[in-house]
Structure 1
Amino acid sequence: MENKALFEGPDISVHQGVVDIKRMRNAGCKRIGIRAGYGKNNVDQRYVPNAQACYNLGVDVLLYWFSYAYTVDMAAAEAGYAMAQAAKYWERCPVAFDFEYDSVNYARKNGVAITRESATDMAIAFLEKVRDGGYIPVIYTN
């Protein structure tokens, strides 16, 4: 089975500082990944200017929510937070569940050991809620 990325492009958040979206578009970027937020409804500090720039310049996006969930209910809530941010600019776009090592470490600090099964269940809860909300569900992880 071949591994193939469905969406290719840079990933931006507050960690990249101020990004020149127009320059990226003009350099050939077809889609930009934007962190909408993380955890319990924490909106990325650069989300609004990044999203506005992409929207105004006609750049396709993949929004992602960095997960700090350690229960299925928390993951489903994060999907709601992500869609609320997406809805400010797009009726339909890819919305991704981003679950990484920091997510697992956060759960451990809260007394929860993430298993393959629990990670899968949380991803499914997030993705189903995104799908049911009319957005395109995506896994974005390391």
Structure 2
Amino acid sequence: MTYIDHKKVKDGDLVQVFGIDVSGSQGNIDWEEVKRAGVRSAMIRAGSGSGSIDDQFRRNAEGCTRQSIPFGVYWLSYAWSPGMAREEARQCLETIEDYKVDYPVCIYFGRDAVRYAASRGVAVTKELAARIVEAFCESVEGQGYTAMYGTEPDFLENLFDGRLREKYPLWIQGDGPPCVIS
């Protein structure tokens, strides 16, 4: 798992931690076995859209907590406006309020969000994507969490402009070696 924190990158450090990305798609996870395998962190999907909580979120957060595996969370966004992003942030924060979240709270905005917006007649431009991410992240930071945004490697240049990289850590989700951002 790689995420890029602009504050640390300026100092020459890339934050890279051996971790996993989990959601309800993986079913019931044996967190004791995960710890034995050497996993040192997790990004857990808390939910998606306008309040759909991931069916394994609580179990995964509790498993990480029991095994002392630090974790962050992500919300799979389907927002097509800043107002919708603020509502998603509210839902996310409500979902995680009972847990100690060690890593950032992330809005994951990628191809699914763009497709969903298009199905509603909204074309997601770089400007709109930035405003959606900023609305979510500002809400998260307003509650004392570290905010982050995430996307697929191919959407990074096509969907996001550099201003977000100066403001928030970036999680690039995908298999393979870490991406290098210039």
Q: Same fold (TM over 0.5)?
A: yes
- Report deviation, 1:4: 4.0
Instruction: Give the match for residue 113 of structure 2.
Output: 103
Aligned to 1:87: 97
Counterpart code for 2:49:
G
Residue 10 of structure 1: SS of its match in structure 2?
strand
Q: Tell me the C-alpha RMSD between the 2 structures.
A: 1.9
Change (3 A) 1:91 1:15: closer
Verify the 8 A CA contact 2:71 2:102 in the aligned structure 1: no
User: Are 1:40 and 2:68 an aligned pair?
Assistant: no
Deviation of residue 93 (structure 1)?
4.4
Asked if structure 2 preserves the Cα contact closer than 8 Å seen for 1:92 and 1:135, the reply is no
- 2:79 corresponds to 1:69: yes
Distance in 2 (CA, whole Å) between partners of 1:81 and 1:55 is: 21
- Could you list the per-position Cα deviations for residues 3-59 of structure 1 after superposition, in whole angstroms to 9, with x for gaps in the alignment? 945555110001111211111112221111100000001000111111111112211
Unpaired segments ≥5 residues, structure 2: 1-8, 153-182
Shift of 1:135: 0.8
Per-residue deviation, 1:104:
0.3
> In structure 2, do the counterparts of structure 1 residues 113 and 8 end up closer, same or farther at CA, with 3 Å as the change threshold?
farther
Q: Percent identity?
A: 33
Secondary structure of 2:19 counterpart: coil
1:117 corresponds to: 127
- 2:71 maps to a residue whose letter is V
TM-score (norm 2): 0.72
Work out whether 1:127 is the aligned partner of 2:132: no
Structure 1, unaligned stretches of length 5 or more?
A: none
> Mean Cα displacement is larger for which, 19-28 or 1-10?
1-10
Report 1:9-28 matches (<5 A): 9-28=19-38
**Length-normalised TM-score, structure 1:** 0.92
Distance 1:86 1:114, change over 3 A: same
Between the two proteins, the alignment pairs up a number of residues equal to 142
Report the Cα offset of residue 123 of structure 1.
Answer: 0.4
